[in-house]
Amino acid sequence: MQLVRENLAETLKQLDAFPFREITPKSKAGFLIGAIEQKYSLPETYYAHLREREAAEIYAKRQKRIDDCSICDNRGYRNVKSERDIYFGVMHECTHNTEIESQFEDHKI
Ligand SMILES: [Zn+2]
């Protein structure tokens, strides 16, 4: 327990990464103690998993802002009036900020 108390961050990291190690140690506890004490490097597949998890969180946050916004469509865009295309308007990525978005006018076809 002292090992865990004194190395909490390393312990959590090693436990989190363990399922990504392609090993079956005779003693999982023994392996983890060694891993924590000697700060074993973590498997590349674990880092890939972390990157995927982070990307999923970023995507979920973006989608929530879109879902909470009453201005844009379900992909986060608006079709707004523009002199560049007076017939069809232009697609504009919504900022979800009413003050900014009030400067644009919706283009209705
Ligand atoms: Zn929006």
User: pLDDT at position 27, please?
Assistant: 97
Q: Going residue by residue through the chain (109 aa), what tens digit of pLDDT does each one get?
A: 799 999 999 999 999 999 999 999 999 999 999 999 999 999 999 999 999 999 999 999 999 999 999 999 999 999 999 988 888 899 999 999 999 999 999 998 6
User: pLDDT at position 26, please?
Assistant: 96
Alpha carbon of 103 to ligand 1 centroid (Å): 13
User: pLDDT at position 97, please?
Assistant: 97
User: pLDDT at position 68, please?
Assistant: 97
CA distance 76 to 79: 10
Question: How far is CA 51 from each of CA 27, 47, 54, 64, 73, rounded to the nearest angstrom?
Answer: 29, 6, 5, 20, 28
User: pLDDT at position 46, please?
Assistant: 97
Please give the distance of CA 33 from its chain centroid, rounded to a whole number.
31
Alpha carbon of 66 to ligand 1 centroid (Å): 5
Question: How far is CA 40 from each of CA 15, 22, 27, 98, rounded to the nearest angstrom?
Answer: 12, 14, 16, 50
User: pLDDT at position 85, please?
Assistant: 86
Alpha carbon of 92 to ligand 1 centroid (Å): 10
Where in the chain are the domains?
A: 2-62, 69-101
